[in-house]
């Protein structure tokens, strides 16, 4: 969640009229389950053109929803929406898309999904993006403590009591700032409130049911929606699946092990390309040079910007998407071999630095994760668990701990976890890479078990996070079939999977200095962001 695409639709977009309603054949069936407590359906969005050169048909609108869905006549907030309208005679209803986070903006994602799906498939849907409450162009937007990630931060590794206290003080200050600035909003920023917003969007679109496509945290959002409103789901695609049995403390500890494995995979890739990077052919020695670089930066940050913590921030995206490896390896090699830290500083600014959108995203991330479920309030437990994890997975353990540490001080009362087990919703289609770091493989298996009738498609040996519409034609074939007519694979994959696809090849080193890749995978991962 460090850096995300700039939102397309500003706060100035307002509801100004009516549009043609959703055709009656958009969905069928009765509606049951919990009702969103809105006295009357929301006003239909007034769509206005907001296209870009990349997504020229994109439209934007806004929607008023209650801050507190149990008090529908109380204070209203505004959700920013985007849409690529259907063009085919056959219309299959709205397809809501979400990039994860929590805290990710989905406005641009609608344009990406509509352009990346096969044209005949995309033409049958209104692809709907939205900024969840508190995010981006939705109003009000959270920004608890601007500049919280300004460099240089204390070393994430709490090697002394003073370093640990400095990091604890930062975490507590962030939670205190959120309480002071957004006390009225925080009790209503959470997964269940966002799910009820999704149902308000459904009502405003005039649809009896929605189709849904979520990445990362968006898979949990979709699973909770299906739990609360099973008869309002038509189709659901969940890509890179959150383990709902570990939200959120346990899931973050599991991430630490998986990210360490991805860092080892990066070191092995660098070693295989020693003729290019000259860092050695032994992955263990490459890894040792990375930690030596970390130690040197802890003592003397590069350009006064990239200390040990910022180095971790810079290399974390490589755990999400291996398309970044060539850029990270060049910066690594330049620092070690030529004592040149310019490429490293540039890599930090491209991959690790947090801008205003990142401050907003982190504020929402914290508000959702810290309030969704209870976190340990005893810092002693955090200390023990993270040192135990660090012993096996040193790469990101403490960086991740401090990222989530405001939850130890969070000012609002925690909710109860949602049991997403579901036998009432229609079959969902799940996608999961076996070596995903942000949402480890076990999450896909767990949700496959919990959602009766679901189908699991596995990318064997894949390590990227967010795998459909990223260049793997095998995965995308299953996605297109499902969105076309509901077809899912059944039981042919073995080991609990219904289908298995080969992973994409690893990237190749850069042959010359060039701009960041314009591949579809790179575009998607810029939209998904990091920490999602």
Q: Is residue 514 scored above 70 in pLDDT?
A: no
Mean pLDDT over each residue of the chain, to the nearest integer: 92
Highest mean pLDDT among 30-39, 52-61, 515-524: 52-61
Q: Is the pLDDT of residue 5 over 60?
A: no
* Range 220-238 average pLDDT: 98
Across 14-23, 63-72, 358-367, 436-445, least confident range: 14-23
What six digits make up the tokens of 448? 């496959």
Q: Indicate whether 497 pLDDT > 90.
A: yes
209/87 Cα distance (integer angstroms): 19
Specify which residues 139 forms β-bridges with: 78
Please tell me the distance from the alpha carbon of residue 352 to that of residue 331, in angstroms, as a whole number. 13
Cα 123–127–131 angle (5° rounding)? Answer: 165
With a cut of 90, say whether residue 4 has pLDDT above it: no
pLDDT at residue 204 tops 50: yes
Sheet holding 59-66, edge to edge: 48-49, 59-66, 76-84, 126-131, 94-98, 210-215, 233-239, 429-433, 455-460, 499-502
Among candidate residues 223, 133, 207, 149, the one with its CA nearest the CA of residue 452 = 223
- Residue that is written with structure tokens 């930690």 in the block: 291
Q: Alpha carbon of 283 to those of 255, 279, 492: distances in Å?
A: 22, 9, 36
pLDDT above 70 covers what percent of the chain?
Answer: 91
Phi and psi at 66, nearest 5°, equal: -70, 140
Going by pLDDT thresholds of 50, 70 and 90, the confidence category of residue 15 is very low
Confidence band (pLDDT; 50, 70, 90) for 42? Answer: confident
Predicted local distance difference test score (pLDDT) of residue 9 = 37
Q: Are the CB atoms for 348 and 314 separated by under 8 Å? A: yes
Tell me how far apart the alpha carbons of residues 128 and 212 are, in angstroms, rounded to a whole number: 9
pLDDT of residue 515: 54
> Residue 27 pLDDT more than 70?
no
Minimal CA–CA distance to 307: which of 267, 357, 341? 341
Q: What's the pLDDT band for 530 if we cut at 50, 70, 90?
A: confident
Active-site residue set: 216, 436, 465
Q: What phi, psi does 159 have (nearest 5°)?
A: -75, -15
pLDDT at 516: 53
Q: CB–CB of 64/43 below 8 Å?
A: yes
What's the sign of the alpha-carbon dihedral 64, 70, 75, 80? Answer: negative
Contact, 86 vs 54, CB < 8 A?
no
Task: Please tell me what DSSP assigns to residue 349.
Answer: I
The rounded distance, in Å, linking the Cα atoms of 171 and 168 is: 5
What gap in Å lies between CA 146 and CA 126, rounded to an integer? 36
> Residue 433, Cα to own-chain centre: how many angstroms?
15
pLDDT in tens, 85-99: 999 999 999 999 999
Residue 230, exposed/middle/buried by CB under 10 A (0-12, 13-18, 19+)?
Answer: middle
Whether the pLDDT of residue 492 is over 90: the answer is: no
Q: How far is it, in rounded angstroms, from Cα 363 to Cα 403?
A: 11
Using CA atoms, how far residue 298 sits from 148, 348, 374, 405, 445, in Å, is 19, 15, 33, 21, 39
- For the stretch 240-263, pLDDT in tens is 999 999 999 999 999 999 999 999
Which of 82-86, 411-415, 494-498, 504-508 has the weakest average pLDDT? 494-498
- By C-alpha distance, which of 224, 283, 276 is closest to 509? 276
- State if pTM tops 0.85: yes
pLDDT higher than 90, residue 281: yes
DSSP conformation letters of 187-230: GG-SHHHHHHHHHHHHHHHT-SSEEEEEETHHHHHHHHHHHH-G
pLDDT in tens, 128-187: 999 999 999 999 999 999 999 999 999 999 999 999 999 999 999 999 999 999 999 999
Strand segments (E) across 216-276: 233-239
Is the separation of the CB atoms in 472 and 515 below 8 Å? no
Alpha helices in 278-324 (DSSP H): 283-299, 308-315, 317-320
Name the band, by pLDDT with cuts 50, 70 and 90, for residue 532: low
Query: What's the mean pLDDT in 431-453?
Result: 98
Write out pLDDT tens, residues 347-379: 999 999 999 999 999 999 999 999 999 999 999
pLDDT bracket for residue 16 (50, 70, 90): very low
Mind listing the pLDDT tens digit for each residue in 289-313?
A: 999 999 999 999 999 999 999 999 9
């Amino acid at each position: 969640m460090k850096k995300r695409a700039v939102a397309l639709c500003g706060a100035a977009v307002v509801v100004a009229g009516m549009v043609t309603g959703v055709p009656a054949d958009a969905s069928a069936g009765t509606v049951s389950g919990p009702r969103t407590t809105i006295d009357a359906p929301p006003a239909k969005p007034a769509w206005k053109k907001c296209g870009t050169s990349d997504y020229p048909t994109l439209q934007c609108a806004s929607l008023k929803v209650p801050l507190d869905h149990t008090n529908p006549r109380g204070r209203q907030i505004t959700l920013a929406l985007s849409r690529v309208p259907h063009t085919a005679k056959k219309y299959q209803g709205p397809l809501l898309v979400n990039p994860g986070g929590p805290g990710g903006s989905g406005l641009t994602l609608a344009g990406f999904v509509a352009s990346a799906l096969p044209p005949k498939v995309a033409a049958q849907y209104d692809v709907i993006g939205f900024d969840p409450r508190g995010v981006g162009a939705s109003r009000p937007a959270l920004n608890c403590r601007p500049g919280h990630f300004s460099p240089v931060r204390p070393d994430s590794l709490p090697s002394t009591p003073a370093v640990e206290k400095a990091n604890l003080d930062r975490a507590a200050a962030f939670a205190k700032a959120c309480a002071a600035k957004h006390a009225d909003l925080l009790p209503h920023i959470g997964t269940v409130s966002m799910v009820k917003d999704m149902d308000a969007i459904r009502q405003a679109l005039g649809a009896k049911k929605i189709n849904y496509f979520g990445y990362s945290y968006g898979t949990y959002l979709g699973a909770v929606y299906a739990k609360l409103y099973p008869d309002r789901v038509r189709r659901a695609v969940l890509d890179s699946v959150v383990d709902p049995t570990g939200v959120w403390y346990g899931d973050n500890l599991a991430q630490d092990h998986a990210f360490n494995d991805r860092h080892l995979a990066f070191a092995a890739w660098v070693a295989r390309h020693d003729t290019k990077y000259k860092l050695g052919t032994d992955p263990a020695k490459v890894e040792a040079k990375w930690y030596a670089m970390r130690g040197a930066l802890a003592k003397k940050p590069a350009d006064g910007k990239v200390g040990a913590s910022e180095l971790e921030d810079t290399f974390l995206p490589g755990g999400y998407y291996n398309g970044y490896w060539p850029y990270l390896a060049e910066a690594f090699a330049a620092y070690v071999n030529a004592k040149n830290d310019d490429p490293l500083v540039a890599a930090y600014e491209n991959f690790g630095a947090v801008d205003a959108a990142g401050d907003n995203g982190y504020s929402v991330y914290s508000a959702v994760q810290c309030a969704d479920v209870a976190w340990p309030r005893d810092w002693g437990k955090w200390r023990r668990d993270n040192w135990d994890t660090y012993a096996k997975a040193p790469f990101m353990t403490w960086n991740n701990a401090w990222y989530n540490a405001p939850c130890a001080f969070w000012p609002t009362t925690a909710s109860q976890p949602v049991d997403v087990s579901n036998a009432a919703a229609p079959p969902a289609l799940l996608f999961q890479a076996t070596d995903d770091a942000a949402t480890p493989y076990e999450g896909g298996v767990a949700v496959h078990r919990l959602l009766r009738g679901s189908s699991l498609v596995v990318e064997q040996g894949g390590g990227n996070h967010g795998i459909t519409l990223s260049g793997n034609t095998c995965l995308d074939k299953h996605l297109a079939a499902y969105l076309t007519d509901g077809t899912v694979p059944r039981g042919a994959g073995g080991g609990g999977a219904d289908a298995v696809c080969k992973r994409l090849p690893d990237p190749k080193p850069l042959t010359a200095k060039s701009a960041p890749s314009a591949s579809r995978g790179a575009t998607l991962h810029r939209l998904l962001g990091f920490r999602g």
